Amino acid sequence: MEAGEDRPRVGVDDWVASVETRKERRGGFAAAGRWVDAHLPPWARLAIFAALAATLPLWMDRGDLFAYGIFTLIYIMLGLGLNVVVGYAGLLDLGYVALFGFGAYFYALLSSEQYGIHWPSWISIPLVVTSTALLGLVLGIPSRRLLGDYLAIVTLFFGQAFVVFVNAANPTVAGKGLTGGPNGIADIDPNDIFGYELISRTQQYYFILGVVLLILIGLHFLSESRTGRAWRALREDPLAAEAMSMPVNRLKLMAFAFGAAIAGLAGCIFAAVLTAVTSGNFGLPILITIYAVVILGGIGSLTGVVIGAIVINVSFQFLAPENPQDNARLLFYAVIVLLLVLGVRPWWRLSVVFAGVAALGFVANAVAGAIDSSWTSGAVVEGGRLAGVISDWVIIPSGHDRFANIAYIALVVLVLTLTRVHGWWRTIVMIPTIYLAFVVWETSFVEQPSVARWILFGALLVFLMTVRPQGLLGTPRVEIV
């Protein structure tokens, strides 16, 4: 209990207002996370993040550094920019990715073979950032008249229009298609720091890390400033803010401009890292990912955005099919075990579940094999060292398409049922559910890992949102009727 809470406060229902403290007391790792977030000063968090991030190139190989390191940082940057618009000012901007695209294309035009212009980064990047900010301002102008979802639609159109313009319209300027049409713009120069070109992935990684740290520091000060507080007021209740004589329209435009500037910067870096840009890079899937990053982490929280980007990109890459599948299997099994260990209490119940699953597996396999040997004679794909155990434990029929589909649907039904039952019923239903999960993995996921990745990712989003709607580090709101 914080000091002073035992003093009665006028107009406040104590029981309702202390909900947060009660939740904290319940414990669990989410509460622990929030405790850390609340008690660790911002500079300490930044230092820890910087220290951990800086060690990445030392133990990751190049491909992983690119996929895990560089892309996570880019998503962090984009998330931070969107956080200014959505998290600080509360404006639903669905065209954000077009600003990102604009930054990338503009940088590409200034530093590639497209028109033979090769301006060094210290000129092109600031130019691109300022023009993207101006474009963001223009995009924000409809926000005067349009509220909420209508603004969302107009910005969405803008985003779509950008993609169509770049891909199909591609007007001819100075003898060449401006945006390269479906081919996009290729052979983009790498970023350079006053002549020192950033070519290797490690160099690029450290550069982007530096930029991200600077943005984090800048945004932290911005959010503590008058403008930041004004934005928060605007987000909470625009009408009250206006009544308090805050320049609401100007604040909205500033939010758009700031978010756009960060998007433009991210675009420059993205274009240089990829060395080529096409319209397909800036479509709706990226927009959705950036939104997921911001919302998952908790709107308005800088740490939240960082954590959200890490969770989303890392989980997405974990499940990538480029990973050798026997290791992916180990990971899948390990995650399920981890979830059980973290989620099921007390210990004896946990051991019941484990024993039950193991037993069910061997029994079911034996029974199925006895009834018809083709029911268990399917091959274990990429079994590796565990192939023998798996084929004795999981039912894999030969020619298993229909079986796999039915198993999958049964698994979905069981998982949904699991959320509805409690107590002992839950433990009992958990056993066939987990076994079925392994069956589905072996019969369909392992053969279509890319699809499995998206399915698991979607399920993860739903799960995270329903369990913690305010995001990992957001503050839950209690409504008093």
Which listed range, 107-115, 348-356, 405-413, 426-434, lies at the site for another protein (CB under 8 A)? 405-413
The first and second tokens of residue 251, run together, are: 């604040």
- Residues 31-70 interacting with another protein (rule: CB under 8 A): 31-33, 35-36, 59-64, 66-68
Burial of 7 (0-12, 13-18, 19+ CB in 10 A): exposed
- Residues 193-232 interacting with another protein (rule: CB under 8 A): 201
- Residues 141-170 interacting with another protein (rule: CB under 8 A): 142, 145-147, 149-150, 152-154, 156-158, 160-161, 164-165, 167-169
The first and second tokens of residue 115, run together, are: 């028109």
Q: Give dist(CA 103, CA 106) in Å, integer.
A: 5
- Judged by CB under 8 A, the residue of 327, 351, 374, 398 near another protein is 327
List C-alpha distances in Å: 241 to 86, 223, 317: 16, 17, 42
Return the number of the residue (225 or 327) whose C-beta is nearest another protein: 327
CB of 57 to another protein, least distance (A): 10
Which listed range, 109-117, 204-212, 219-227, 328-336, lies at the site for another protein (CB under 8 A)? 328-336
Which listed range, 10-18, 114-122, 278-286, 365-373, lies at the site for another protein (CB under 8 A)? 278-286
Residue pointed to by tokens 């930054």:
103
CB of 457 to another protein, least distance (A): 6
Residue pointed to by tokens 């800086």:
54
Contact 478, 19 (CB under 8 A): yes
Q: In one letter, which amino acid is 184?
A: G
Neighbouring CB atoms inside 10 A of 176's CB total 11
Q: Give dist(CA 116, CA 93) in Å, integer.
A: 34
Which listed range, 116-124, 125-133, 247-255, 473-481, lies at the site for another protein (CB under 8 A)? 473-481
Q: Give dist(CA 276, CA 271) in Å, integer.
A: 6
- Judged by CB under 8 A, the residue of 217, 344, 352, 465 near another protein is 465
Q: 57-62: which pairs have CB atoms within 8 A and are 24 or more residues apart?
A: 57/201, 57/202, 57/205, 57/206, 62/201
Q: What is the size of the binding site for another protein (CB under 8 A)?
A: 113
Site string for another protein, 367-396 (x = CB under 8 A): ---------------x--------------
Contact 135, 175 (CB under 8 A): no
- Judged by CB under 8 A, the residue of 127, 137, 213, 276 near another protein is 276
Site string for another protein, 334-353 (x = CB under 8 A): xx--x---------------
Return the number of the residue (120 or 283) whose C-beta is nearest another protein: 283
